[in-house]
Chain A
Amino acid sequence: DIQMTQSPSSLSASVGDRVTITCRASQGISNSLAWYQQKPGRGPKLLLDTASRLESGVPSRFSGSGSGTDYTLTVSSLQPEDFATYYCQQHYSAPITFGQGTRLEIK
């Protein structure tokens, strides 16, 4: 199984800050990487797919990059509604696996 490791596990930031979350795969996944946002009591929301493609309706302050084993999610200017937990997911190889999550909290 491909292991997905996110860092940091938690992050405190302020409205307007730029933040970056990293996801590292245990082997190359050829950009087959998705990012999700989850708020308490709700199912995850797909933000980006294929490492950098923004899903319809997702604000352009979210962006993704990376290749091989290393990927990043960046939020250019945090808004109050962005405080949530973020997960990466690889869909390169079965079984599908997720990172352990990064909790983004208000400072």
Chain B
Amino acid sequence: EVHLVESGGGLVQPGGSLRLSCSASGFIFSSFAMTWVRQAPGKGLEWVSAISGSGNSIYYTASVKGRFTVSRDNSKNTLYLQMNSLRAEDTALYFCAKNKMDGLPSYEYWGQGTRVTVSS
């Protein structure tokens, strides 16, 4: 059974940093691209970043480019999102999701999310 468990969220001041982690189990982690999706309070879903199974291909939404860095450690079955220069508008519940296929995917498994609050 596939499990995705996010951690690392919390309260941080504007301009601060956080590192999110997503621990994966139940599938061959290195074989699948992974994605971060966020959901601002009371809002819909927003695609944030994706990384290929090998880690060689990486993508970001425009609003986080240059501030967020996605990475993965396939030996630890863990996905990361390093978030720097955080802004109030980054406040959201952050989900990791397993890509269903290569290319432009749907997402067949999601974690429960980790909450990030950016506020002074």
Q: Report A's interface with B, CB cutoff 8 A.
A: 32, 34, 36, 41-46, 49, 55, 87, 89, 91-101
Contacts and interface: CB of A to CB of B under 8 A. Distances in A.
Interface in B68-120: 95, 97, 100, 103-113
B104 A91 contact: yes
A46 B107 CA distance: 7
Nearest to B4: A43
Contacts of B59: 94-95
B: interface residue count bin: 20 to 34
B111 A43 contact: yes
Contacts of A99: 44
A101 B106 contact: no
A43 B115 CA distance: 12
Most interface-central of A87, A91, A92 (chain B CB within 10 A)? A91
B61 interface: yes
B45 interface: yes
